[in-house]
Amino acid sequence: MTETSIPAAHVTSKVTPAEETQSNLLGAADIRRIAAEAGISPTKKLGQNFVIDPGTVRKIVRESGIGSDDLVLEVGPGLGSLTLGILEVGAHLTAVEIDPPLAARLPSTVSEYNRDGANRLNIVNQDALLLQDTNLPAEYGTTDFTLVANLPYNVATPILLTLLERFPHLTRFLVMVQKEVADRLVASPGTKIYGTPSAKLAWYGTAKRAGTIGRNVFWPAPNVDSALVLFTRDKAEARDTNSRASVFDLIDAAFQQRRKTLHAALRQRVGDQAYALSGIDPTRRGETLGIDEFMRLNAAAGRAGE
Ligand code: SAM
């Protein structure tokens, strides 16, 4: 594609100051041009739906609360829509992308739209589920950082839980996910959609919904609605990391048979004494227990030697 096919909004010398700010971000024509130039066609398998609306990008960045010099992680930068939004506010960013052609194209897109931002960006071509601290700059092991991402919808929950487990300095996140997944992540005990992701995320901290996003801000448009989830991690001392694995096993077991009472579902793991010690009624169902109750029951089962 030639220079002349670049949309007018990107030719900064011909636009007003307000439009000039807008031109740092990608619109529909920019996305199509970059994809065509790089020979990229979005794949469903990797959840590739690219944001084509600068307003949506700015909303995500605003809701995340990040600002100048903050340390940020993005999973799945794709063609760079949100990447440019994060860099626009002056943050330092590492973007982790699984798809080699997308990771390879990103530096030139960022240099083209935000030259200064390119100096604050580090790109890692990697599956986020396999990300280790050795893949990230050393400061991610010492400094609190925020995850800001439009997550691949089919693996959003595993990515969040894996990153929270591996990176203690991941203290906040603002992510866009499928609306139903967002509802599950923030669900309260006793509701129909409360499940293992809700209980496990609550172990780490507090999640809340931060708005819904329509389908027409993406290319290609997905066949599901999207929503934002804002999460803040509890202070490190609030949770005993040593017992996390056993609490999570207990949660998995309780929800494997969610219609059964705790007594029936956890027969192999929790005896009568643990219910007495924890003060939790064994005739309740697992889906009614908050994370503090799961932790209490787990600790009581440990004390009772079960
Ligand atoms: N952030 C871009 C945007 O908002 O336009 C793209 C978001 S798109 C919904 C999801 C992105 O995640 C794609 O670029 C996809 O290739 C990438 N992705 C999918 N699975 C991944 C994984 N396991 N680890 C890292 N990136 C992944």
Q: For the domain that residue 274 is a member of, what is the CATH number?
A: 1.10.8.100
- In ligand 1, the atom with minimum distance to the C-alpha of 149 is 1
Same domain, 109 and 219: yes
Same domain, 207 and 254: no
Which domain, by its residues, includes 179?
A: 4-236
CATH number, domain containing residue 218: 3.40.50.150
Same domain, 223 and 171: yes
Residue having the nearest C-alpha atom to atom 6 of ligand 1: 78
Q: What is the pLDDT of residue 238?
A: 72
Distance 171 CA to ligand 1 centre (A): 21
Q: Which of 213, 236, 259 is the last residue of a domain?
A: 236
Same domain, 20 and 100: yes
What global pTM score does this model have?
A: 0.91
**Cis preceding linkage at 100, omega within 30:** no
Ligand 1 proximity of 146 Cβ (cutoff 6 Å): no
Give the integer Cα–Cα distance in Å for 109 and 273.
Answer: 62
Q: Which of 207, 236, 265 is the last residue of a domain?
A: 236
CB 106 within 8 A of CB 80: yes
Same domain, 257 and 141: no
Instruction: Enumerate residue ranges in the chain where pLDDT < 70.
Output: 1-23, 237, 306
Give the integer Cα–Cα distance in Å for 149 and 153.
Answer: 11
Same domain, 174 and 109: yes
- In ligand 1, the atom with minimum distance to the C-alpha of 43 is 16
- In ligand 1, the atom with minimum distance to the C-alpha of 152 is 10
Residue having the nearest C-alpha atom to atom 23 of ligand 1: 127
Same domain, 127 and 207: yes
Same domain, 139 and 253: no
Side-chain-side CA neighbours of 213 within 13 Å: the count stands at 32
Same domain, 19 and 136: yes
Site to substitute for ligand 1 among 30, 48, 56, 84, most atoms within 8 A of C-beta: 48
Same domain, 252 and 231: no
Same domain, 299 and 190: no
Q: What is the pLDDT of residue 23?
A: 58
Q: Which of 236, 262, 293 is the last residue of a domain?
A: 236
Ligand 1 proximity of 82 Cβ (cutoff 6 Å): yes
Distance 102 CA to ligand 1 centre (A): 9
Same domain, 282 and 191: no
243 in helix, strand or coil?
helix
Question: How does strand 145-150 pair with strand 218-219?
Answer: unpaired
What is the tally of structural domains in the chain? 2
Q: What is the pLDDT of residue 150?
A: 98
- In ligand 1, the atom with minimum distance to the C-alpha of 83 is 1
Q: Which helix (H) or strand (E) holds 86?
A: helix 81-88
Give the relative orientation of helices 54-64 and 81-88 as an angle to the nearest 10 degrees. 50
